[in-house]
Copies of this chain bind each other. A is one copy, B any other.
Amino acid sequence: MKNLGALLRHIHLNGPTSRAALTEEFGLNRSTIMALTAELAALGLVREELPDDVQKAGRPSLVVSPESEKVFVLAFDVAVDWLVAARVGLGGVILDRRAAVRQRRFPDLDDVVGTLAEFARQLLRDVPGDAVCVGVGASFCGMIRPHDGTVRYGPKTGWVDQAFGPELERRLPLGLPVRVGNEAHLGAVAENERGAGIGFRNLIYLHGDVGVGGGVIVDGKRLGGDDGYAAEAGHMVVNPFDGRPCLCGSRGCLEAEVGESALLDLAGWPHGSVGRDAVASVVHAAERGDQTAREALNRVGDWLGVGVANLINLFNPGVVVFGGMLRDVYRGSAEQVRTRIEANVLPVSRERVELRIAALGDDTTLVGGAELGFAGLLADPAEAVSRARRPRA
């Protein structure tokens, strides 16, 4: 059973793989691999086919592929910026999606769950008849109690102790548990498994979504801390005395100094400008020579650099990945960030660290939510299939 999950996980993350390659990868013998892939095929999770281009002499090794069209999760992404729902197939393929853009004020629990449930209804309506839903995962822009998906605290949503997970579960027509995680925690996993951080054992993910979230991979595992609230890099105080006020009630937090409103403010953008497009427009203006935009970006980049330098000193990671709107901010201020790293990181800790931009683009956190949805299936494929729902049946 453990091998079955590990094998499925390999195919889920790496795509179609020949039995021969699986045999080598897992160090099991051919007949064992054959039995396992047959079991996965019998569960409807993979199919085994002859490779397209058979060239070598002898019997070719069958290729094992994930049944992406038939086995899916529902994934949700609740950002300050937007609400997204998607149907994501085994293998990580986004098959279909619905999205709503940001409102002026963050909506309340009922509205958020209502919108997501309606999206889910639409997504499930269009599902092929033989498709099964094996899990539900949601990424949320706030601090999440892991075991029940309650939003404990979200400075930018204004939510305190809102039963988001249970409520969403109640409103979906599936009877499947809804697993919820913090957006940046899940983003770290997504970039580690499928994005800019593949292969790294220690990774920092900084997610810009109006504010700044953090996710950390320590020795291959998501850092949670005692209660699941770790990695709050956005609320690391970098400017303890003259800091900008932060929505969390503190001052000089990293997100107060490098978040959306700091950048737009410093750049002199019109009052009321919001969103990732506005952030991108500051970066473009700076690139085109706008001096105020350039100075704003320099200043924000310097603060971002202080935060990144501290994180490198604390975690000795192999890579730091910038996601969400920080992709644009980092692109526009990489020099300032690097200067701070040179100045503030201990020499031996910066010998090998890399700085990268999220490879999954705007979907990093959504993909993280999907992976959370797949977790039960990958832990125990047979058990998960027995509980799966066929929405059109």
Could you list which residues of chain A lie within 8 angstroms of chain B, going by C-beta atoms?
Answer: 143, 152-153, 155, 200-202, 214, 216, 218-219, 221, 223-233, 235-240, 248-250, 253, 306, 309-311, 313-318, 343-349, 351-353
Contact = CB atoms under 8 A, between A and B. Distances in A.
A316 B240 contact: no
A316 B227 contact: yes
B143 A232 contact: no
A223 B315 contact: yes
B348 A226 contact: no
Contact of A219 (B200, B221, B317, B347): B221
Contacts of A249: 343
Given A225-B317, A227-B348, 8 more contacts: A201-B226, A202-B226, A218-B225, A235-B344, A235-B346, A236-B313, A240-B344, A253-B344
Contacts of A347: 153
Residues of A contacting B: mostly = loop
A231 B314 contact: yes
A232 B349 contact: yes
A351 to B, nearest CB: 8
A317 B318 CA distance: 23
28 contacts: A153-B346, A200-B226, A214-B314, A216-B314, A218-B218, A218-B225, A219-B221, A225-B349, A226-B317, A226-B318, A226-B352, A227-B349, A227-B351, A229-B316, A229-B346, A230-B315, A232-B313, A232-B314, A232-B349, A233-B314, A235-B313, A235-B345, A236-B310, A237-B306, A238-B240, A239-B240, A253-B344, A310-B310
A27 to B, nearest CB: 21
A348 B236 contact: no
Contacts of A314: 214, 216, 230-233, 236, 311, 314
A1 B345 CA distance: 42
Contacts of A227: 316, 348-349, 351-352
A201 B317 CA distance: 21
Contacts of A238: 237, 240
A74 B201 CA distance: 33
Contacts of A216: 314
Contacts of A223: 218, 315
Nearest to A200: B226
A245 B316 CA distance: 23
Nearest to A232: B313
Nearest to A227: B316
Contacts of A315: 223, 225, 230
A214 B314 CA distance: 9
